[in-house]
Structure 1
Amino acid sequence: MSRLKWKNLEKPLSEPILEVVQNVFKFKIMTPVQSATIPLLLSCKDVAVEAVTGSGKTLAFITPMLELLLKRHRNESWRKNEVGSIVISPTRELATQTGEVLQKFLENKNLSLFTQKLLVGGTSVDDDVKNLENDGAHIIICTPGRLLDLLERNDNLKLAGRVKSLELLIFDEADRLLDLGFEVAINSILSYLPRQRRTGLFSATQTKELSDFFRAGLRNPISVNVKEKANVNTPKLLKNFYMIVEPEQKLNFLMKFIEDREIKKALIFLPTCACVEYWSKIFSNLLDSLKILSIHGKMKKKRGEILKKFREFANVFLLCTDVMARGVDINELDWVIQWDPPSNASAFVHRVGRTARQGSEGNALIMLLPTEAAYVEFLTKNQKVTMEKVEVDESWSGNLSFVNSKIHKLQQSDKNIFDKATTAFVSHVKAYSKHDCSLLLRVKDLDLGKVATSYGLLRLPKMPEMKEKFHKTFIAPENKVDINSLEYKNKQKQQAYRKKQEVYQKTGEWPGKKIITKKHESWTDSKQKREFKKENRKKRQEVKKSINEMKASGVSVIAKKRKNQYTKDDLDELVKDFVAIKKFKKNKISKEELDHEIGFDSETDQ
C-alpha cells in the first residue's frame, strides 16, 4: 500500500494539526493504516479498520476527528456543552493513553479551543458530572460503563442532550470491547447517539461476530485491512522466540535468560492476578538490580500511577495480566515475555504487539513445556506468527536448587508470601484448564509436582487435580518446614492469625471457615436406590414395547393416563400382559386364553 506524506493528502489537514504531527510527533510520512483511513474519514465515510497492533491507529482517527471538528467550527462555533466526538476504549489504560496523545494536539494554541474529558472507572462519578457541568467537553474519551452511567443519569448534566451534535464516534480495540462483555452497554449507548454521524471501528483483529454486532452502528462501512506483511499478523520488526523447558526449571531458566540477554525493560505476562501478586514478591528479591512493578485487573486507582512509573523508569520489569495486552504504548520496551501460553491464540498477537511499535525493533519470548511444543505450529498456522527457537544451555539447570532455596527462605520469613504462593499455583492450574486451545493444552498433561517446584512451594496444596504420583516429582525444601510455625511480618495480621489458632486448638474448627453440612447416606441405601431406579427404567421400556406389540396385533389397549408415572403394580400387570401376548404369537395359547390372561373376558361378562 502506498504511503503518503502528511502534507500531500487530497483533502489536506489544517496547518495546526500538521504542525503537531510533524513537529511534536516527528512524523513526516504516514503509516499504511493512516494513508488508507484518514482520507475516508475526511470524506465522511464510516470505516471498519483492521491493522496490526502498533501500526499508528490512534493518529489515524485523532487527526481526522480534529479536522471534522474544525470544519464545523468555521461555519458554526461549538458551544461549551456540545460533544463533537466520542472515543470508546475497552480499558482505562488505553483511554488514558489516547487522551495523552490528544492533549499534545490541544496544547497547540490554534486547537486549544477544543476541550476533552476522560471518563473512566476508578474515579468519582460525581466529580465527572461536576467537571462536565462546569467545563463541558467537545471530545469525550471513555470506557463504555462510565459513559453509559452518565448518559442514563437524570440530573442537571443531561449528557444525552449534549451528544445530539456528535460528528464522529470511534470504537478503539473493538474486538476487546466484545471480549470484555460490553455488548449490552454499547447497544444502550448507540440508542442515545444521533444517526447522522460518522463511525470508525478500529481493531487488530476483525471477526464475523464483531462485524455482525457493529453492523447496526455503521452505515455501509468501508473495510480497511492493513498488514505490514501479507503473511504475518505481528509487527514487521518484531522477533518472536520460544523456549522449550521442563516445568521445574522454568523460573531458573528465565532468570538466566534475562541475565544472558541483559534485558533492562520488559513486560512479563502471567496467567492470573494471584500469579502477578506472588511473582512480583519473588522477582523483587531475585532481580534486585531492577525495579519490579505489577499491574492486574483487580487493581483500581493504582493502575495509572504504576503505568506512568513503568514508562519513566529505565531498568524496570512490569509483571501483568492481559489487562496490559491491548493498545498500551510504551517507549523503549526491549522484551515481552510470556510465562505460559495465553488463554486464546489472538491474545498472543496482542501481547507481543506491546513492543516493536511505530517502526521500532522489539523482541518477544514465550516459555513452553515439552507437552506444549505443538503450540508453536498451531500459532504459525492460526495466527500467522513466525517463531525462532532459543536453544537452552543445559548448564543453567544446575542453578535450580539455589533459586528454590531463596524462594523457600522468603516464604519462611513471611507467611503472607507462603499464602500468595499457594493461591497463585492453584489459580494457575484453574486458568490452564480454561484454555481455548484445550486439545493441545491439557491439565492432565501437566506434571503438577514439577510445576509446584517451579513455584517454590513449601508443600503441595490439597486440590482435586493433585494426584498421589505428583508427590514423587515435587522437590520439597531440604529441611522439613512446620507450616503452623510460620509467622506474618505484618504484626496485626499475625495477631489475628494467632487468635484463630487458639480457637482452632479449643474447638477443632477454623474460625470464619464456611462449613457445608451434607446429609450422607450409607453405601447400602445408595445402592438400593440405584437398583430401584434401574429396575423401574427396565420395566418402563418393557411396558412401552408391550403396548406397541399389542397395538400391532390388533388388540385394543385401554390405558389409564397418569400425570406422573406408573405405579409398581401397574408395571407388574403390564409385564404379565406382555408375556401373554408373546405366548399368543407363538401359538402357545388361544385367542380366548389371551383375553382371559389380560382380563378382557371378565369385562365382557359384566
Structure 2
Amino acid sequence: MIKFKKLGLSDDMLSILKSQRISEPTPIQEQSILLINDGHDVIAEAQTGTGKTLAFLLPMFENMSPNIDTIQGLIVTPTRELAIQITQEAMKLKEAKDLNILALYGGKDIGSQLKKLKGNIHLVIATPGRLLDHLNRNTINLDHLKTLVLDEADQMLLMGFKNEVRSIISYTPNNRQTLCFSATMNSEVKKLAYKNMHDPKLVMIEKKEVTLENIKQFLIETTDRRKQEDLCKILDEENPFMAIIFCRTKRRVDNLEEDLYQKGYNCKKLHGGISQAKREKVMKAFKNLEIQYLITTDVAARGLDITGVTHVFNYDIPENAESYIHRIGRTGRAGEEGYAFLFVAPKDETTLNTIEKEIQLKIPKRILT
C-alpha cells in the first residue's frame, strides 16, 4: 500500500483498497492520481482493463465533501453498462467517504431519478442523452461542479455524442477540473479535449502487445451458409466455461440467440435494443455464471469488466483490428489463459488481411472435424 499512500490517498481509502485486495496502483493510476489530486486537467490514454475507473474515482472521492450539498463530480460515459459498472465501483468506496451517488441513464424510470435529484447528490454518473434530458428540464444543477470526467471519450464520439457532450460542458462552470480518459487519442478526441481544458497534463500508458500471450487465437474458415453449424461444432468441442459470442448487428444477435436456444445451448442476448431492466438482469446472470454464452453486439466489447470469460467467438468478423483487439480482450484476463475464435467467410478476406497485418500475426487455422 506504500505506493498508494504516496499518491496522497487517505487512510480510510487505503483500508478500502486493502479490503478489496488492491495493493499496487496500475501505471495509469500511478501517473494520474497525483495530477488529479493537485487539481490539474488530465488527458489520459490507456487501454481497457488498465484500471482507468479507479484512476479518476479515487482522487475525485478525496476531493469531494459530503458536507457540501451540491453536485461536485460528474462522470459522462457512453453506455448504460459502463455507467452501471462505474457506479458499482464508486459504491465500493462509500465506506471511506459517505458521498451520495446517482446513476442517470436511459431505460431507468425518470420519475425515481427526479425524486433522487431533489435530495443531496454529490456524484453523478451518466450517459449523455439522459443527462442532457435532465439539464434541459432544469432538474439537475451543475453550477458548483468541481470535476468533470469524459470516460471512453473516443467511444462517445464514435457513437455520435459530440453535440451532446458539447452541450453538457456548456452547463458546467469554467473553473471546473476536466479529465478525459480514452483508449485511443484520435484527432477528434484531442480537439474536444483541448478546446475544453486548461493546460491539460498528458498521461499515455504504452499499449501492451496487441496479441496478448495468454490468448490463443484461431481462425475458422467457413461460409455464411455453414457458419452456424461450424459455431455449434466448436462450442461442442470446446465446451467453454464462460463465453462471449460477437455478432455484427442486433438482428444477427436475435437470430443466433433464438437458434442456439432452440438447440439447447444456455445462452442469452445483449444489445442496445433490449430494455434496460432486461440488460441488467442478463449481465448479472452472466457474471453469476447462470449463463454460459452471452451473444452480443460490440456494446459489451468496450470497458466492461467480466471476469472468468474463457472464450470469445467472433461469429461475425469485426470492422477493424482495434475492434478485434477489444473483443478478444474480454478473455485471457488476470493471467488466465483465454481462447479467441474468428469465423471468416470468403467475403471477409480483405478485412482479415488488414487485422492480421495490424496485429502482426498470421492467425492459425483450426480445422473442424
TM-score by length of 1: 0.58
Matched, 1:149 2:133: yes
> In the alignment, is the contact (CA less than 8 A) between 2:128 and 2:165 conserved in 1?
yes
Going from structure 1 to structure 2, the CA distance change for 1:236 and 1:50 (only over 3 Å counts) comes to farther
Larger fraction in strand: 2
Matched, 1:340 2:316: yes
AA of the residue aligned to 2:74: I
Matched, 1:23 2:19: yes
CA distance in structure 2 between the partners assigned to 1:391 and 1:375 by the alignment: 19
- Structure-to-structure mapping, 1:169-568, within 5 angstroms: 169-229=148-208, 232-233=209-210, 237-286=214-263, 288=264, 290-301=265-276, 302-314=278-290, 316-382=292-358, 384=359, 386=361, 388-393=363-368, 396=369
CA distance in structure 2 between the partners assigned to 1:101 and 1:244 by the alignment: 41
AA of the residue aligned to 2:91: Q
> In the alignment, is the contact (CA less than 8 A) between 1:239 and 1:387 conserved in 2?
no
> In the alignment, is the contact (CA less than 8 A) between 1:84 and 1:168 conserved in 2?
yes
Going from structure 1 to structure 2, the CA distance change for 1:118 and 1:315 (only over 3 Å counts) comes to closer
Residue 542 (structure 1) aligns with = none
AA of the residue aligned to 2:33: I
AA of the residue aligned to 1:102: A
CA distance in structure 2 between the partners assigned to 1:119 and 1:49 by the alignment: 24
Going from structure 1 to structure 2, the CA distance change for 1:22 and 1:361 (only over 3 Å counts) comes to farther
Instruction: Name the SS for the 1:298 alignment partner.
Output: coil
Q: CA deviation at 1:334?
A: 0.9
Residue 440 (structure 1) aligns with = none
Q: CA deviation at 1:188?
A: 0.8
AA of the residue aligned to 1:263: P
Residue 103 (structure 2) aligns with = 118
| 1:320-346 CA distance string (max 9 Å, x none) | 112212211112011121112223443
Residue 131 (structure 1) aligns with = 116
The unaligned stretches of length 5 or more in structure 1 are 397-606
Q: CA deviation at 1:22?
A: 1.9
Instruction: Name the SS for the 1:243 alignment partner.
Output: strand
> In the alignment, is the contact (CA less than 8 A) between 2:43 and 2:193 conserved in 1?
no
Structure with larger Rg = 1
Corresponding pairs, count: 368
Residue 525 (structure 1) aligns with = none
Q: CA deviation at 1:167?
A: 2.0
Q: CA deviation at 1:303?
A: 1.1
CA distance in structure 1 between the partners assigned to 2:215 and 2:31 by the alignment: 23
CA RMSD of aligned residues (A): 2.1
| 1:289-336 CA distance string (max 9 Å, x none) | x42101111112221111111111255101111221221111201112
Going from structure 1 to structure 2, the CA distance change for 1:127 and 1:315 (only over 3 Å counts) comes to closer
| 1:408-435 CA distance string (max 9 Å, x none) | xxxxxxxxxxxxxxxxxxxxxxxxxxxx
CA distance in structure 1 between the partners assigned to 2:48 and 2:213 by the alignment: 11
Identity, in percent, stands at 32
Instruction: Name the SS for the 1:201 alignment partner.
Output: strand
> In the alignment, is the contact (CA less than 8 A) between 2:320 and 2:351 conserved in 1?
no
Q: CA deviation at 1:79?
A: 2.7
Larger fraction in helix: 1
Instruction: Name the SS for the 2:93 alignment partner.
Output: helix
AA of the residue aligned to 2:176: R
CA distance in structure 2 between the partners assigned to 1:389 and 1:140 by the alignment: 46
CA distance in structure 2 between the partners assigned to 1:360 and 1:136 by the alignment: 43
CA distance in structure 1 between the partners assigned to 2:177 and 2:336 by the alignment: 32
CA distance in structure 1 between the partners assigned to 2:199 and 2:356 by the alignment: 33
Going from structure 1 to structure 2, the CA distance change for 1:238 and 1:31 (only over 3 Å counts) comes to farther
Going from structure 1 to structure 2, the CA distance change for 1:196 and 1:300 (only over 3 Å counts) comes to same
> In the alignment, is the contact (CA less than 8 A) between 1:234 and 1:353 conserved in 2?
no
Matched, 1:45 2:29: no
Instruction: Name the SS for the 1:252 alignment partner.
Output: helix
AA of the residue aligned to 1:111: K
Q: CA deviation at 1:125?
A: 2.1
